[in-house]
Structure 1
């Protein structure tokens, strides 16, 4: 059985159970208007689906705020750290929001970025933090609601719906990019397989599991897509949007405070 047939079979199981398989789309590292961004926005418009654009505040250019002004409300902006700079020592995994600097310095940068995002994007900005490299020191998480964040998004299935009171976590689960040793396309089998595994785990989990109501997230990076990745995304969204058991959830709905009810 092909991996695409496996996806169809999994979605049919959702339909047989009378459930909707919810998904969402997050794209990271936005800083400016570009042909790649235009292509991303054209694709999401073609399929009529929402998109969460994670923007780096310290690198934000006026061309991006201008480019997004005419986009509909289902395109939301999240905060992608502060400067997307690695502060880990050589030999450790890259991290900006790690334990390597004083917490007050990191929190100060995040607060500065939060104000820049609010000023630049207004109501389009959702106070959701997307840590660069999807990593954040656990000690920083309890402070996030205190400085104005209402959401957190990293990678892999969440372990709690609300890591701390007032903070809703919704993660991403699959992405098409192979980062090392060279950038490129991971391939249909690997990515669709991740989606199938994530959907199956949600469908079969006990009702109290934090993954049950977590929309399955596709993570992309428009600035480094090659033609194979763009073609894959076209195949994926075409297939998903045509299936009656699938609902692509807009970011504003995902991170609405009404969902922030469990701990």
Structure 2
């Protein structure tokens, strides 16, 4: 009898222990809500303007873009992948153009990545979020960059699929089959759409606005918000993709050889 009571007590203790060790994550919680996401670093501005001399080039090797919300054709969509990891490090130059206007140009680095989104009641769709080729200029000639400075310019959106891409049926442009209908008795609309998407190589265009909110004149750090409007880059879902979020980068004088 005593053994039975002891076993029951141990079993109850085990149940309590397991309950205490269970995850505190609520169903459907995202990594962002629990602080497990990879974020761009926090700004450490001192509010003093950053001087920009004529002929001087400041380069950033750590420019970081953090998408926070997106919309497709004006309709809000949820970011499934892209909010949990920033775009970067992007290489960019800060200088003055011939008219004395501050300019920000993306010259390299990881300046494009695939961002998966989903609208309510629809399937998940991947887009290329891009800062490639961004050439943004301030609205007026200035000798400093401060929190009243905005940059605006055009960018390039590379095709979502690489040259060697083939879809699930082996169709592609530079690899795979010319046609692979599989179980379809005839081509049909679904087959044609799949073929069109697997062979899409169109380079899209976009526009981005950068609004400065924080400056650190000692380190060259610049941070703020961005808004990007770009082509979707998809043949079967053509349209306009809008992405908004935050950016930060440290621009130091470029060393001349």
- Scaled to the shorter chain, the TM-score interval is under 0.3
Give the TM-score normalised by structure 2: 0.22
Which structure shows the bigger proportion of residues in helix conformation? 1
Over alpha carbons, which structure has the higher Rg? Answer: 2
The structure whose RCO (Cα within 8 Å, separation 6+) is larger is 1
Which structure shows the bigger proportion of residues in strand conformation? 2
